[in-house]
Amino acid sequence: MNLLGIGIDVVEVSRIRSSMDEFGQKFLDRIFTEQERSYCQRQKRPELHYAARFAAKEAISKAFGTGIGKDVGWLDMEIFRRPSGEPEVRLSGAAAVCADERGVTQVMVSLTHARDYAAANAVLI
């Protein structure tokens, strides 16, 4: 197993809530996949779950060393839950190409959130 990259990110939940209030569905559609939006909207405080996924996408892009852009776009990464509750990452589009080019076989993430903050770690193997 080769460690190819690590990333971390912390997000203020109020920042995500503010973007949701100001830009509404346009913001959500630009950052989150349909499956992510469906999951988050079913939660008691959707902004917490959106913030954790936002942090995960930032952490993944940092692990790739690219940031969010042409190599790894917001919608090229999807964070979903396994039946066990463990978060899992699905790459598509440019991010999948970038992963293939770099020999990435697995992207692991860990998410957490509290009242005011959400955070995520990402590891590329």
Instruction: Read off the pLDDT band of 1 (50, 70, 90).
Output: confident
Task: Say whether 62 is catalytic.
Answer: yes
Q: Which pLDDT tens digit goes with each residue over 80-111?
A: 999 999 999 999 999 999 999 999 999 999 99
Catalytic residue among 49, 57, 62, 70: 62
Say if CB 118 and CB 48 are below 8 A apart. yes
Q: Would the pTM count as exceeding 0.75?
A: yes
Active site residue 44: no
**Model confidence pLDDT, tens digit, residues 12-68:** 999 999 999 999 999 999 999 999 999 999 999 999 999 999 999 999 999 999 999
Catalytic, out of 26, 44, 57, 113? 113
| CA-to-CA separations, 70 to 12, 67, 75, 113, in angstroms, rounded | 25, 9, 11, 28
CA distance 41 to 45: 8
